[in-house]
């Protein structure tokens, strides 16, 4: 059973205004088909307005799909959204809390609404380094980071089977981010599934097993991180000491150019054919830039802007 399964999920908002000057309809999400496996950390990437929040809101029943279908924990997103929310934890982007409640009251109230025991609350409070004094203060006095900590605790306190997190590390300092990543690893080891949207690509690269990239409401990539990075073109710089190797036609190598004694090219996929082609040549240095998710991500967007 997939934790999340969508098939051609589409959300379109009708245009506004009177008939004679009605704005065009907005296609927020188009034909999204993804499968998130149980027990994985799945990253959902895309710039602002790409359709990340729309997808999350469709999964949780805040929005109604225009067409297509979706299942979360084998429950239909259109008809069983209450049951879905019973089994999920959700951290909205820029979470809003009740300002007049204390941290304790807030967590207790949300837990009561969940109707489930807060098995992990104490442990999470400790991990997020919130003191008893902090939790007795009204939320209106909290910094952004502290609000985010409360948001993380409320999403995980009932040990949900699936956590859906929208920009989860927003406002957290680097130490707390590390602590949060450890929390995700632990939940993953406990067999829980994490679905997170993020702008921070280094974060996604570090913690996610697989990613989906959306652009203008459409899925442009769905892959595990290693595969995505392997497919990404990396820059290669070879400092020569003698003959210039002929790299044209080597699998995965492109854009070869030689200036003085420096050969540069781009490498896509497995580096073995390139290394084999360099056998017998004298080299001073060989630099293959490590593949980064950020560059892979930008590549998908560069493809779009070049169209």
Partner 1 sequence: MNGPLFRHTFRSNAIKLLLVGAGLALMGVIMPVMFAAFGKEVGAFVQSVPLLDQLSDFGEADFFTLSGSVAAGFTHPFTLLLLGIIAVAFPALAIAGERDKGTLEVTLSRPISRNGLLLTLFLAGLIFIGILVAVLMVSSIITTYAVGLGHELQLANTVQLWLVAWLLFAAFMSLTFAVSVGSDRAAPAFGIPATIILLSYLVWAIASIWPDVRWLGEYTVFHLVKAQETLDDGPATADVLILLGLSVVFMGIALYRFPRRDLPAPS
Q: Does 47 bind partner 1 (CB under 8 A)?
A: no
Do the bridges between strand 67-72 and strand 75-76 make them parallel or antiparallel, or are there none, so unpaired?
antiparallel
Q: Does 67 bind partner 1 (CB under 8 A)?
A: no
CB 186 within 8 A of CB 209: no
Q: From the CB of 304, what's the least distance to partner 1, in Å?
A: 23
Which of the stretches 16-24, 50-58, 218-226, 277-285 binds partner 1 when contact is defined by CB under 8 A? 50-58
The binder of partner 1 chosen from 18, 115, 174, 249 (CB under 8 A):
115
Q: Is 11 left (phi over 0), alpha (psi -120 to 50) or beta?
A: beta
d(CA 81, CA 63): 11
Task: Give 147 or 232: the residue with its C-beta nearer to partner 1.
Answer: 147
Element spanning 231, H or E: helix 225-231
The binder of partner 1 chosen from 10, 33, 38, 60 (CB under 8 A):
60
Task: Give 15 or 94: the residue with its C-beta nearer to partner 1.
Answer: 94
Strand, helix or coil for residue 273: helix
Which of the stretches 68-76, 108-116, 205-213, 248-256 binds partner 1 when contact is defined by CB under 8 A? 108-116
Q: Does 109 bind partner 1 (CB under 8 A)?
A: yes
The binder of partner 1 chosen from 22, 47, 62, 282 (CB under 8 A):
62
Return the beta strands (E) in the chain as ranges: 4-13, 26-36, 41-45, 67-72, 75-76, 88-91, 162-166, 193-198, 210-215, 218-224, 233-240, 253-259, 262-268, 283-288
Which of the stretches 105-113, 117-125, 205-213, 270-278 binds partner 1 when contact is defined by CB under 8 A? 105-113
Q: From the CB of 178, what's the least distance to partner 1, in Å?
A: 26
253 beta partners = 267
Do the bridges between strand 88-91 and strand 233-240 make them parallel or antiparallel, or are there none, so unpaired?
unpaired
Considering only residues 84 through 103, tell me which ones interact with partner 1, judged by CB under 8 A. 85-86, 88, 90, 92-98, 100
Task: Give 77 or 296: the residue with its C-beta nearer to partner 1.
Answer: 77
The binder of partner 1 chosen from 110, 120, 153, 183 (CB under 8 A):
110
CB 177 within 8 A of CB 170: no
Task: Give 6 or 53: the residue with its C-beta nearer to partner 1.
Answer: 53
Task: Give 63 or 256: the residue with its C-beta nearer to partner 1.
Answer: 63
CB 91 within 8 A of CB 166: yes
Which of the stretches 54-62, 186-194, 261-269, 299-307 binds partner 1 when contact is defined by CB under 8 A? 54-62
* Residue closest to 54 by CA, chosen among 207, 197, 224: 197
Do the bridges between strand 193-198 and strand 162-166 make them parallel or antiparallel, or are there none, so unpaired?
parallel
Task: Give 7 or 13: the residue with its C-beta nearer to partner 1.
Answer: 13
Size of residue set near partner 1 by CB under 8 A: 29
CA neighbours closer than 13 Å in the CB half-sphere of residue 93: 12
Starting at the edge strand found earlier in the chain, the sheet holding 283-288 runs: 253-259, 262-268, 233-240, 283-288
Considering only residues 119 through 178, tell me which ones interact with partner 1, judged by CB under 8 A. 154
Q: Does 54 bind partner 1 (CB under 8 A)?
A: yes
Residues that bind partner 1 (CB under 8 A): 13, 53-54, 57, 60, 62-64, 82-83, 85-86, 88, 90, 92-98, 100, 109-110, 112-115, 154
């Amino acid at each position: 059973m997939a934790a999340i399964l969508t098939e051609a999920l589409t959300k379109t908002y009708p245009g506004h205004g009177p008939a004679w000057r009605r704005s065009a309809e907005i296609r927020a999400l188009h034909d999204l088909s993804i499968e998130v496996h149980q027990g994985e950390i799945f990253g959902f990437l895309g710039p602002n307005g790409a359709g990340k929040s729309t997808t999350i809101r469709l999964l949780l029943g805040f929005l109604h799909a225009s067409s297509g279908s979706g299942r979360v924990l084998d429950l239909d997103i259109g008809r069983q959204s209450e049951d879905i929310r019973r089994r999920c934890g959700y951290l909205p982007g820029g979470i809003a809390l009740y300002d007049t409640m204390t941290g304790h009251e807030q967590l207790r109230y949300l837990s009561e609404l969940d109707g489930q025991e807060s098995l992990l609350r104490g442990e999470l409070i400790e991990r997020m380094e919130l003191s008893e004094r902090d939790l007795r203060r009204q939320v209106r006095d909290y910094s952004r980071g502290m609000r985010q900590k409360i948001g993380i605790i409320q999403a995980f306190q009932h040990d949900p089977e699936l956590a859906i997190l929208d920009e989860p590390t927003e406002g957290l300092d680097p130490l707390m981010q590390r602590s949060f990543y450890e929390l995700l690893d632990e939940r993953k080891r406990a067999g829980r599934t994490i679905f997170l949207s993020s702008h921070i690509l280094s974060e996604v690269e570090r913690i996610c097993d697989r990613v989906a990239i959306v652009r203008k409401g459409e899925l442009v990539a769905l892959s595990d991180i290693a595969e995505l990075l392997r497919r990404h073109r990396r820059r290669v710089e070879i400092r020569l000491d003698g003959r210039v190797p002929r790299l044209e036609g080597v699998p995965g190598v492109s854009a070869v150019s030689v200036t003085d004694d420096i050969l540069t090219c781009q490498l896509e996929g497995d580096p073995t054919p390139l290394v084999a082609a360099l056998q017998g040549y004298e080299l001073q240095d060989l630099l293959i830039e490590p593949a980064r998710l950020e560059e892979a991500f930008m590549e998908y967007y560069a493809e779009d802007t070049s169209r």
